Amino acid sequence: MNSPDLAGIGMTSQRTRERLIERLREQGIDDFAVLEVMRSTPRHLFLDEAMAHRAYEDTALPIGYQQTLSQPYVVARMTSLLLAGGSLERVLEVGSGSGYQTAILAQLVGQVYAVERIKPLLEASRKRLRRLKLRNVRLRHGDGMLGWPEEGPFDGVLCAAAPEQVPEALLAQLAPGGRLVLPVGGGLQHLKVITRDGDDFRSETFDAVRFVPLRPGVQR
């Protein structure tokens, strides 16, 4: 990536990015592959120009339509939890928003199937992913609460919006041994990892988090 806007300058420079990676490491992110991919992926390209100078702060940032680009720590944490069971071939992402988490996943798994309910966000993310030449991604405008049944089952599912209860369809589309990582809760939310073992599901609870709600239906 050597065009100047991909490389970044000033507040989006490589040095600023290094500081973010250092911070993630200090906060306990120790998956080397995840850290390397986050180091080399230009988060500023996933934001409007007015927000781009804040891209390497460890904070969630607005992307319009009352949605946010997830905080880097949370992206790193969810990605690490998803990958902790071993390498993944087919991954479903629900609530792909800006496409930043999609870009990170695409560099770490075989194929990403991403569903977003807000059409303009989906179309903007499509352009960014193409620009970064990430071709192992399929994007769909739809209600991710329903998963993507035609493409399942999935080895991993990552959902970036919070339901009050885990959607049945996402469980149903997990392959044997597959893992679902998502925030769950109404007011107070926690990250959960749900692992499929035959017809049983094992649930583990991790960090307290704050995500936008998972909403049914689509928006044009």
Q: Applying CB under 6 A, does 121 fall inside the site for ligand SAH?
A: yes
Sheet architecture: strand order including 90-94: 137-141, 111-116, 90-94, 154-159, 174-184, 189-197, 200-209
Is 40 among the residues known to form the active site? no
Q: Provide the 3-class DSSP secondary structure of residue 48.
A: coil
In contact, 187 and 165? CB cutoff 8 Å: no
- Cα-Cα-Cα-Cα dihedral sign, residues 123, 58, 209, 74: positive
Q: Does 21 bind ligand SAH (CB under 6 A)?
A: no
Nearer to ligand SAH, 8 or 95 (CB): 95
68 near ligand SAH (CB under 6 A): yes
Question: Minimum CB separation from ligand SAH for residue 70, in Å?
Answer: 4
**Binding segment for ligand SAH among 12-20, 88-96, 130-138, 193-201 (CB under 6 A)?**
88-96
Contact segment (CB under 6 A) with ligand SAH among 5-13, 49-57, 137-145, 172-180 equals 137-145
Q: How far is the CB of 153 from ligand SAH (least distance, A)?
A: 18
Count of residues of this chain found to bind ligand SAH when the rule CB under 6 A is applied? 26
d(CA 151, CA 67): 26
Active-site hit among 70, 96, 98, 125: 70
* Helix spans in 63-191 (H): 72-83, 100-106, 119-131, 168-172
- 25 φ, ψ to 5°? -65, -45
Say if CB 45 and CB 27 are below 8 A apart. no
Determine, following the binding rule CB under 6 A, whether residue 100 of this chain makes contact with ligand SAH: yes
| Residue numbers at the binding site for ligand SAH (CB under 6 A) | 63, 67-70, 94-98, 100-101, 115-118, 121, 143-145, 160-161, 212, 214-216
What positions carry a catalytic annotation? 70
